Amino acid sequence: MMIPIESLRNALAPCLDAQGFIPGDQVQERYCTDWSGARGQPLAVLRPTNSAQVAEVMRACHGMRQPVVVQGGMTGLVGSCVPQAGEVVLSLERLNQIEEIDLISSTATVQAGVCLQTLQEAVEEKYLFFPVDIGSRGSCHIGGLIATNAGGNRVLRYGMTRQSVRGLEVVLADGTLINRMGKAIKDNAGFDTKQIFIGSEGTLGVITRAVLALEPLPCARQSALISLDGFGAVTDLLWHCKNRLGPRLSSFEVMWRDFFDFSVGKLKRGPPGLNLSGTHVVLVEAMGMDSAPDEALFLDALSGFSDQHPACEMVLARSMADAQAIWSIREAAGEAAQAVSPWAGFDVSLPIADMPVWVDGIHTQLRSLDLTQTQTYGHLGDGNLHLVVGVTTDPVLKAKVTELVHSTIGALGGSISGEHGIGFAKKPHLHLCRSAADIGIMKQLKHNFDPFGLLNPGRVLDLP
Ligand SMILES: Cc1cc2nc3c(=O)[nH]c(=O)nc-3n(C[C@H](O)[C@H](O)[C@H](O)COP(=O)(O)OP(=O)(O)OC[C@H]3O[C@@H](n4cnc5c(N)ncnc54)[C@H](O)[C@@H]3O)c2cc1C
């Protein structure tokens, strides 16, 4: 039964200040929709300013059996932060302080609502580096990154967000606050319970603060675009770069022609006059600590490759501006998807060796449905591909395309979500890549942490 707005306001008044409660009829659009395009209207938006207030709010909502959806920067792509009927939004946007940058431990202690780019810039001023990097860096929050275990452009070298989380503070659905904010790398005192919240898409707890591991700031960065004919040449290049650059290899992003042509041709991204003819274009990036030798190693590695593949074409970045121009092609992904709206977006992972046959097969089947607007690209070094398909507004056709993509991925032993998560958008197909026993464990965990199903209800899993 829906709680009247005045009862809700009165119950939450002791927990929040005057800016902390926005009734549903006054909420701005940014609380209603994420990047998936889904939209919903919340009963109210709650905006606490610290962890204690989050705990009080959750305790009060638990007492009233009031469903809550947690929001970070609203850049999610699977609809899980979009409010459903009868839900209140818990926005972490006012928990936005970088509490400490500890040079000796190489850690940053941050509140969940700190924007990724703000953190990246703050630590770089101290010659440190937060390696998680994604295209939505200017809007997404640290809490959202952790809740989705975001991947991004440098997973190949530094791992997913999980690898950068040292400590976590979490508030459970009943308001219990769990503080695991240790800075040490080693802690084998019992189960590492914080891991269960990372990537749980806000269904098991609200992340309020985190201790993040920082790396030394790489002072040398080399980027190149390499155009190749055939997927075999792409995998040759991947192994060549891994062997020759070792741990310096930080990104290996691949763009099929459908995406590359859209970004360069339609969106006018990339350096002026860029003209590459291969079937695939790879963006390779290396990062190191020693400018001159690292650059020599990078050039040597690429020239060794072009000796073996004389037909390949290369564009090297000679300056930071060149590197930004090269990266702008790949970073146009969000804009490119919006430009073919309505679109269906996929984020699959599969064995690298299976990718060319899978992509060709899907493209052929899409063409047979008269769907020719595709964009194919991905973090190939991580076995993660993105496919955007311009569909009509016809929901039946969209469902057919989704079924087609996900069922073929399940059959290959891949995953229907390499990095964006399940949310609502992919929930019907979770069983295609996770066994019934595995889903059963997820349901048990959800039941243990949130027996009344009040936190992000209906996301990831269907519970009775
Ligand atoms: C242009 C663009 C590029 C992107 N590139 C990538 C990419 O390369 N790799 C990648 O992995 N993702 C990518 N994404 C997806 C998205 O940016 C990430 O999933 C990001 O981590 C979401 O963070 P957010 O703060 O916006 O979270 P939101 O969208 O607000 O929320 C996402 C989920 O996390 C939950 N949540 C948010 N904050 C908390 C919290 N404090 N405690 C508990 N749960 C919380 C929400 O309930 C929801 O389930 C991209 C998105 C865009 C628009």
Q: What tens digit of pLDDT does each residue of 403-430 get?
A: 999 999 988 989 999 999 999 999 999 9
**In the chain, where does the domain assigned CATH 3.30.43.10 lie?**
5-94
What was the pLDDT predicted at 411? Answer: 86
**In the chain, where does the domain assigned CATH 3.30.465.10 lie?**
98-216
Which atom from ligand 1 is nearest to the alpha carbon of 142? Answer: 25
Instruction: Decide: 71 in ligand 1 pocket, CB within 6 A.
Output: yes
Q: Report the candidate in 66, 44, 58, 53 with the shortest Cα–Cα distance to residue 94.
A: 53
Which residues lie closer than 8 Å to 439 by C-beta, 6 or more apart? 430, 431, 461
What was the pLDDT predicted at 409? Answer: 93
Predicted model pTM: 0.96
User: In the CATH hierarchy, which fold is given to the domain comprising 220-333?
Assistant: Alpha-Beta Plaits (3.30.70)
Residue of 91, 140, 455 with the most ligand 1 atoms within 8 Å of its CB, for mutation: 140
Give the residues of the chain that fall short of pLDDT 70: 1
Architecture of 340-420+429-445 per CATH? 2-Layer Sandwich (3.30)
Instruction: Decide: 145 in ligand 1 pocket, CB within 6 A.
Output: yes
- Rounded Cα distance between 386 and 344, Å, is 11
**In the chain, where does the domain assigned CATH 3.30.70.2740 lie?**
340-420+429-445
Q: Report the candidate in 399, 289, 294, 262 with the shortest Cα–Cα distance to residue 344.
A: 399
What was the pLDDT predicted at 410? Answer: 86
Residue of 148, 149, 382 with the most ligand 1 atoms within 8 Å of its CB, for mutation: 148
Residue in this structure with the two tokens 């992919």, named with its chain if needed: 426
Strand partners, 226: 282, 314
Instruction: Decide: 152 in ligand 1 pocket, CB within 6 A.
Output: yes
Instruction: Decide: 77 in ligand 1 pocket, CB within 6 A.
Output: yes
CATH no. for 98-216:
3.30.465.10
User: Helices 51-64 and 5-12: crossing angle, nearest 10°?
Assistant: 140
What was the pLDDT predicted at 315? Answer: 96
Instruction: Decide: 425 in ligand 1 pocket, CB within 6 A.
Output: no
What was the pLDDT predicted at 395? Answer: 84
182 alpha carbon – ligand 1 mean position (Å): 24
Does the structural domain 5-94 have CATH classification 3.30.43.10? Answer: yes
- Find the helix or strand (DSSP H, E) in which 291 lies: helix 291-308
**In the chain, where does the domain assigned CATH 3.30.70.2190 lie?**
220-333
Helix segments in 115-227, DSSP class H: 116-124, 142-148, 155-158, 194-197
